[in-house]
C-alpha cells in the first residue's frame, strides 16, 4: 500500500492512567489536545495495558482508567470529534504488539534509556518482562491507527524512532503495509512547577500533595495551596517580577496566572507589589478555570452508564481502524485467514 495516508493528518496522543491529573497536565498537554481536535483526525488512548507494568493491586488500573477517561471528556475532548478509547477495549493492540515484538531486536530493546532508568530505580524488586518489551506495545499503539503524527517531548523520541524502524523493517520484509509515523514537537504548553519546590515540575508523585493542584481539587483546597506557595524573601515595589532564574517561585505563579488568563507573565505582574495578592489572584484564576472541569468530571463519575457509553463509542471507532490494520498486516505476512 501507499504509506502516505489519504485521510486528514491522524494524530495520536496517549496517557497512562497512574493517578489523578493535575494542573501541569492540563496546561502542558490536555488543553492543546482539546484545542487541536478539530484540526486533525485525533485519537486519544487511555493506555491501561501499559499501566500493568507498574501496578500490582487488583482494581487499581480499572479505577484509574475510568477517572482518567472522565477527565479527558471533562476538559473538553468531544467524543463526536475525537476518538477517545481505553487501550484494553481494543484487542488489536495486543495482536499487533506481538507482530512488532517479532520486528524489534533484543539489542534494540536493551538500549532503550527509559527501561534502563526505570529498572535501575527498582533494583532489588520485581522488574517485569512487560517493562522491557513496553516499546513493542507502544509501537503497536502508534502503527495500529495509520498514525501520521505523534506529539512527543524529547524523552519519548527514542520510542518513536524504534517504532519507525520496526515499521520500515516490516514494510521491507512484507511490502508496503504500515504508515511511517513522524514525531512532532507539540504546541508549547505552560511550564508549571511545584508550588512547594518551584525548581521541579508539578507532579502527581508529590507525597504531601501541597505542591500539586489536582484537577479534582475543591476550590478551597486550591486556594489553600496557592496561599502557601513558596516565593522568596524579597520585598519592595519591584518584588513581583518575572525572573525564572532568580525568582523561581514568583515566576511560577506568574506563569500559571498568565496561562489561565491568556496574558503574559509580565502583564500579570503589572500593578502587583505584594506576594500575598499574587497568590490570591492566581488561586482565584485557577479556581475559575478548573471549577467547570471538576463539575463535569463529577457528573461523569456519578453516571457510570454514560461514561461506559462514551468509552464504547470510542472503542467502536478505534476498532474500525485497528481491525483493518491487523487484517492488512496478517495478509501481508501471509497468515491463514480466520
d(C-alpha 208, C-alpha 330), whole Å = 50
Residue 3 has pLDDT above 50, yes or no: no
Residue 15 CB coordination number (10 Å):
19
Q: Is 277 annotated as belonging to a binding site? A: no
CATH number for the domain that contains residue 57? 3.40.50.620
Task: Give percent of the chain with pLDDT exceeding 90.
Answer: 80
| pLDDT classification of 280: cutoffs 50, 70, 90 | very high
Q: Are residues 172 and 86 in the same domain?
A: yes
Q: What is the pLDDT of residues 27-39, one digit of tens each?
A: 999 999 999 999 9
First-last CA distance in the chain: 22
Residue 105 has pLDDT above 50, yes or no: yes
Residue 172 has pLDDT above 80, yes or no: yes
Query: Active site includes 201?
Result: yes
Q: Are residues 252 and 291 in the same domain?
A: yes
Q: Are residues 74 and 153 in the same domain?
A: yes
Q: Is 65 annotated as belonging to a binding site? A: no
Residue 207 has pLDDT above 60, yes or no: yes
**Inside any domain, residue 197:** no
- Kindly state the average pLDDT of the residues 176-200: 90
Could you say which of 118, 227, 247, 279 is catalytic? 118
- By mean pLDDT, which of 3-7, 152-156, 251-255 is the weakest? 3-7
Q: Are residues 109 and 153 in the same domain?
A: yes
SS3 of residue 138 by DSSP: helix
User: What's the total number of domains in the chain?
Assistant: 2
Q: Are residues 277 and 309 in the same domain?
A: no
Q: Is 4 annotated as belonging to a binding site? A: no
Q: Give me the chain's average pLDDT, please.
A: 93
Segments forming the whole domain that contains residue 103? 10-190+304-333
Q: What is the pLDDT of residues 63-95, one digit of tens each?
A: 999 999 999 999 999 999 999 999 999 999 999
Residue 5 has pLDDT above 60, yes or no: no
Query: Active site includes 317?
Result: no
d(C-alpha 194, C-alpha 202), whole Å = 4
Could you say which of 204, 227, 247, 277 is catalytic? 204
Could you say which of 4, 116, 121, 201 is catalytic? 201
Q: Is 238 annotated as belonging to a binding site? A: no
SS3 of residue 14 by DSSP: strand
CA distance to 29, 73, 291, per residue, from 283 (Å): 20, 24, 12
Amino acid at each position: 500500500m501507499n504509506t502516505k495516508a489519504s485521510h486528514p493528518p491522524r494524530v495520536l496522543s496517549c496517557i497512562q492512567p497512574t493517578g489523578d491529573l493535575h494542573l501541569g497536565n492540563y496546561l502542558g498537554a490536555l488543553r492543546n489536545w482539546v484545542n487541536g481536535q478539530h484540526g486533525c483526525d485525533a485519537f486519544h488512548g487511555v493506555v491501561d495495558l501499559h499501566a500493568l507494568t507498574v501496578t500490582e493491586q487488583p482494581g487499581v488500573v480499572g479505577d484509574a482508567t475510568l477517572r482518567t477517561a472522565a477527565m479527558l471528556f471533562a476538559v473538553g475532548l468531544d467524543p463526536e470529534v475525537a476518538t477517545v478509547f481505553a487501550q484494553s477495549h481494543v484487542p488489536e493492540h495486543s495482536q499487533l504488539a506481538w507482530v512488532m515484538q517479532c520486528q524489534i531486536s533484543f539489542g534494540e530493546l536493551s538500549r532503550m534509556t527509559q527501561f534502563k532508568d526505570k529498572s535501575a530505580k527498582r533494583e532489588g524488586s520485581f522488574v517485569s518482562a512487560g517493562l522491557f518489551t513496553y516499546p513493542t506495545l507502544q509501537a503497536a499503539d502508534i502503527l495500529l491507527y495509520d498514525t501520521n503524527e505523534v506529539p512527543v517531548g524529547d524523552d519519548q523520541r527514542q520510542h518513536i524512532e524504534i517504532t519507525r524502524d520496526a515499521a520500515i523493517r516490516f514494510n521491507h520484509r512484507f511490502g508496503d503495509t504500515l504508515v511511517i509515523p513522524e514525531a512532532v514537537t507539540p504546541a508549547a504548553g505552560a511550564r508549571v512547577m511545584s508550588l512547594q519546590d518551584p525548581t521541579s515540575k508539578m507532579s502527581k508523585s508529590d507525597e504531601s500533595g501541597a505542591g500539586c493542584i489536582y484537577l479534582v481539587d475543591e476550590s478551597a483546597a486550591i486556594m489553600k495551596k496557592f496561599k502557601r506557595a513558596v516565593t522568596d524573601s524579597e520585598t519592595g515595589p519591584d518584588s513581583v517580577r518575572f525572573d525564572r532564574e532568580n525568582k523561581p517561585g514568583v515566576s511560577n505563579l506568574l506563569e500559571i496566572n498568565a496561562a489561565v488568563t491568556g496574558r503574559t507573565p509580565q502583564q500579570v505582574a503589572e500593578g502587583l507589589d505584594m506576594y500575598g495578592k499574587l497568590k490570591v489572584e492566581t488561586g482565584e484564576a485557577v479556581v475559575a478555570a478548573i471549577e467547570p472541569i471538576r463539575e463535569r468530571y463529577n457528573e461523569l463519575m456519578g453516571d457510570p452508564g454514560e461514561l461506559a457509553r462514551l468509552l464504547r463509542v470510542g472503542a467502536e471507532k478505534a476498532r474500525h481502524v485497528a481491525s483493518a490494520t491487523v487484517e492488512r498486516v496478517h495478509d501481508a505476512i501471509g497468515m491463514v485467514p480466520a
